[in-house]
Structure 1
Amino acid sequence: MGVPGRFSRERVEVERFDRALDPPPGQPDDDFADELAVVAALRELGPAGRPDPATRERIRAEIEGRLGEPVVRRRWRPRMADLAAAGIALVLGLVGLTLLLSKNAVPGETLYDVKRAGEATSLAFTFGAEAKAQKHLEFAADRVAELGRMTDASPSAYRTALDDFGTDVRAGVTQLTALATSGSDHGQLTGLKAWAHDQSNLLAAEESRVPAAAALDLSGARGLLTRIQERTTALVSRLDCYEITTGSSDELGLLPAKGACTQQQPSRIGATPSPDPSSPPPPSSETVPPTTSAPRQPDLAIPTAPTPTPPPSGGTPPPVYAPPIPTPTAPRLPTPPSPPPPVLSFPPLLPGLPPIVIG
């Protein structure tokens, strides 16, 4: 892409002047002799060659007098859009830095509330019921890990960690059990049971470090995990039943049904259900071939009137109906007689004999 002529010429002049300032040894450039003398003098003066404020004002006044109008002094003034963008960038930077510093915060510290607010924001941007449930369980596991990093914490800090642990556990278990029972997913319930078993072991390892004032809260958290294991076991045993849950729920979600387990009906199209031994056998599907008989001639006899039945004693005699009138038969046309056979006659073979007649 070419460069416009004016800019090209200016660039050539600038490059020539630059080469004149630092010419190769033995090749002086006489085109810029005067300019080079000025540059050399300014270099010798150094900082002392800068004009003082009075000199600058005198030079400015002389330039304005030659131009015939005052020179406008431009000052940079920030716009509202620039200020807003800078403020937003500053706030986002502070928030990101605060979240980064609060990553390792534990209950009882100032940044722990900021950490919980960041977890709530992360949960709000998580889509899908199963993904949200897994997020809750992840946050609950973080509370257990924080118990191991808490040193010289107050009993209220331990209670805060255990309360937050129970809140996230209940939310995650409620959503996962609802999904597993609606889709008969054994894997979700089995994974939830294993997770509860692992977290219970981790809480048991922290039992000696928890203050006595928070020991009851720790026991409640372990009891909650034990109930989760029992609940998942009961739900897994009824996933193949027609009735899995009772329809009611508690803090851990849907309650498993009780009683006999009736197997679900086959859902495949065209599947044959298993026969019940107590039901009678189905009728035989063999067909008996119909008996071939001669066509029955219509009965042209006129039916006689039925004999009336005598009425019972003391009752109303039944009504008597006239016999049905037979439909008259249409008369047949007379059959024409068959024509007589043809008669053939031949002349006599000899004179005086009679003719020969056949027929």
Structure 2
Amino acid sequence: MRRSSTVGVPGWFSRGRTESERFDDAIDASPGEQPEEFAEELALVGALRELGQAGRPDPATRARIRAEIEGRIGEPLPRRRWRPRMADLAAAGIALILGLGGLTLLLSRDALPGDALYSVKRAGEVTSLGLTFGDEAKAEKHLRFAANRVTELGRMNDAAPAAYQTALHDFGSDVRAGVAEFTELATTSGNRTGLTSLESWAQTQSRQLESEQAGVPESAREGFQQARLLLDRVQQRTSALGSRLSCYQITTGTTDELGLLPARGACTQQPLSPGGSTPSSPPPVPDSSVPSTDSPLPVRSSSSPTASGSPSTPAPTR
């Protein structure tokens, strides 16, 4: 029995503490030494102890549970099954389309007019032009595409007449677009070397067309002749514009399918005043409504100012 140390603790707290200590001693006592005053409480404590023992697993069950837990510790956790979402499917579809488009464009590089992939090749060239910055770069690309059509004509063996017509039509379209842009840039900047190079390019393409014309069908020879006539006009246009680069008036201010038309008449040099500056008014210029002799097509007005009348500034008309 433990001694109750209640000295100096007054009142009911001292009595309650003493009773609690006696009950604690009764629980720890053996069954023959338990006091009668706590008989009911001790019987309840014994019943609770028996109930706890009844719900406890036996040693065999505990050993089985332990072995199962230890076995699962070494096993990897099951992975969550991946399920494709709509965003993943859309991204995969876009990647597949882009991949197939790039592969198709790559395979179409060697396509000839009349082939199934030739339209894809032309679409790629149009896209390339749209992504090209600068008028000069676009003009050079047009002329490069036109030269490619001439090369393709030499590789077309036993092609249908419609294929030759397609190639010649695309050739003419690129020649007109490239020459129009290039001559405008050359006359604006006074690039005589550029005009000479363009004239030489037209001569080379004309000779190549002439060498390839013998092996084409009779129905396609007229298209070859029209293409060579177009190149002859390019040579005449570049030569005429180059000869007037030192003139006061270089162009008429009007255009046709090949671009700016060269001015006609005498080449009047821009006069200088005694002080070295240009006079307040330039000499009169001929009527710009008359088309150039090398362009039989109707003339349309250009967005650039015309050379008719007297300009307000002494700068030459391009």
Which TM-score applies when normalising by structure 1?
Answer: 0.54
The code of the aligned residue for 1:165 comes to F
SS of structure 2 residue aligned to 1:137: helix
Displacement of 1:74: 3.0
Partner residue, 1:17: none
Higher helix share: 2
Q: What are structure 1's unaligned runs of at least 5 residues?
A: 1-61, 275-359
Instruction: Work out whether 1:115 is the aligned partner of 2:121.
Output: yes
Displacement of 1:80: 2.7
SS of structure 2 residue aligned to 1:263: coil
Q: State which of 111, 127, 133 in structure 1 corresponds to 2:133.
A: 127
Partner residue, 1:74: 80
Q: What are structure 2's unaligned runs of at least 5 residues?
A: 1-67, 280-318
Partner residue, 1:271: 276
Partner residue, 1:34: none
Instruction: Work out whether 1:101 is the aligned partner of 2:107.
Output: yes
Partners of 2:153 and 2:167 within 8 A in 1: yes
Deviation per CA, 1:54-88: give whole Å up to 9, x if none: xxxxxxxx99xx9xxxx998321112332222112
Q: How does 1:176-255 map to 2 (within 5 A)?
A: 176-255=182-261
Displacement of 1:264: 2.4
> Could you say if the C-alpha distance between residues 266 and 176 of structure 1 is closer, same or farther in structure 2, counting changes exceeding 3 Å?
farther
Q: Equivalents in 1 of 2:134, 2:271: separation in Å?
A: 30
Q: Equivalents in 2 of 1:74, 1:259: separation in Å?
A: 87
Partners of 2:270 and 2:278 within 8 A in 1: no
Q: State which of 171, 175, 179 in structure 2 corresponds to 1:169.
A: 175
Displacement of 1:248: 1.2
Q: Equivalents in 2 of 1:167, 1:272: separation in Å?
A: 43
Partners of 2:213 and 2:221 within 8 A in 1: yes
Q: Equivalents in 2 of 1:270, 1:100: separation in Å?
A: 63
Q: Equivalents in 1 of 2:164, 2:135: separation in Å?
A: 30
The code of the aligned residue for 2:189 comes to G
Q: Equivalents in 2 of 1:208, 1:272: separation in Å?
A: 58
Deviation per CA, 1:225-253: give whole Å up to 9, x if none: 00110111110110010010111111111
Q: Equivalents in 2 of 1:205, 1:137: separation in Å?
A: 20
The code of the aligned residue for 1:96 comes to G
Q: Which portions of structure 1, spanning 4 or more consecutive aligned residues, are displaced by more than 4 angstroms?
A: none
The code of the aligned residue for 1:243 comes to Q
Q: Equivalents in 2 of 1:117, 1:266: separation in Å?
A: 52
Deviation per CA, 1:3-57: give whole Å up to 9, x if none: xxxxxxxxxxxxxxxxxxxxxxxxxxxxxxxxxxxxxxxxxxxxxxxxxxxxxxx
Partners of 2:240 and 2:262 within 8 A in 1: yes
Q: Equivalents in 2 of 1:116, 1:270: separation in Å?
A: 56
Instruction: Work out whether 1:137 is the aligned partner of 2:136.
Output: no
The code of the aligned residue for 2:232 comes to T
Q: Equivalents in 1 of 2:169, 2:272: separation in Å?
A: 45
Q: Equivalents in 2 of 1:247, 1:124: separation in Å?
A: 27
Q: Equivalents in 2 of 1:270, 1:119: separation in Å?
A: 53
Q: Equivalents in 2 of 1:171, 1:273: separation in Å?
A: 35
The code of the aligned residue for 2:143 comes to L
Deviation per CA, 1:302-349: give whole Å up to 9, x if none: xxxxxxxxxxxxxxxxxxxxxxxxxxxxxxxxxxxxxxxxxxxxxxxx
The code of the aligned residue for 1:217 comes to G
Q: How does 1:253-264 map to 2 (within 5 A)?
A: 253-264=259-270
Displacement of 1:92: 1.4
SS of structure 1 residue aligned to 2:260: strand
SS of structure 1 residue aligned to 2:83: coil
Which TM-score applies when normalising by structure 2?
Answer: 0.61
SS of structure 2 residue aligned to 1:247: strand
Q: Equivalents in 2 of 1:87, 1:265: separation in Å?
A: 69
SS of structure 2 residue aligned to 1:110: coil
Partner residue, 1:36: none
RCO comparison, higher one (Cα < 8 Å, 6+) = 2
Displacement of 1:184: 1.1
The code of the aligned residue for 1:131 comes to A
> Could you say if the C-alpha distance between residues 249 and 272 of structure 1 is closer, same or farther in structure 2, counting changes exceeding 3 Å?
closer
Partner residue, 1:16: none
Partners of 2:271 and 2:278 within 8 A in 1: yes
**Could you tell me the percent identity over the aligned residues?**
65
Over the aligned positions, Cα root-mean-square deviation in angstroms equals: 2.3
Q: Equivalents in 1 of 2:139, 2:95: separation in Å?
A: 33
